[in-house]
A and B are shown apart, each in its own frame.
Chain A
Amino acid sequence: AQTVTQSQPEMSVQEAETVTLSCTYDTSESDYYLFWYKQPPSRQMILVIRQEAYKQQNATENRFSVNFQKAAKSFSLKISDSQLGDAAMYFCAYRSNFGNEKLTFGTGTRLTIIP
């Protein structure tokens, strides 16, 4: 079974600075997807960024980018120019590209933005 580990329960960053959230995963598969989701206080889950394992290029969405290291099974999220609205729980998630479509989540990192 796949597992996803987020080793940082809490992180904080000064507004306008850069922060990196860590995620590692364990799988024996070669084709899969990785995601970062944001959950603000409203508790609505919002997709931040998605990475396909067969693509070597790291995904980028505006201020959000990932560092995908397939051999190391690492998938970190970098948030540049942090804004107050970035404060939220961030979840890393894994989805196989074989068989079922279920997402496996990490335990989350709570990000605080310091004004």
Chain B
Amino acid sequence: QVTLKESGPGILQPSHTLSLTCSFSGFSLSTYGMGVSWIRQPSGKGLEWLASIWWNGNTYNNPSLKSRLTVSKDTSNNQAFLKVTSVDTADTATYYCAHTRYSSYIHYFDYWGQGVMVTVSS
């Protein structure tokens, strides 16, 4: 059974760096076709894909956040990480990590964490 759980600071100040951890079980990020993605949702708004990291170490970021995003993984400990630098109030949102399934015609967020709320405030 695949499960994921996000953890983070809850609240942080503008200009600081947001660090989030996705702890998961039920799959390995070293297995072909496996990935973990980060998606966020400001309160009352829609979903925005941020970044993905794949079994082979490849990463893909949403260009809208320019170079502020870094995704990484610790395969041994079944964790994935997201860092967002220079945060401001627009980064206030619930952040989700999701197991991402990949094959020829499929790119699918098929298991989601419960989400972690992050507030950027001075």
Whether chain B is bound by chain A comes out as no
A-binding residues in B (CB < 8 A): none
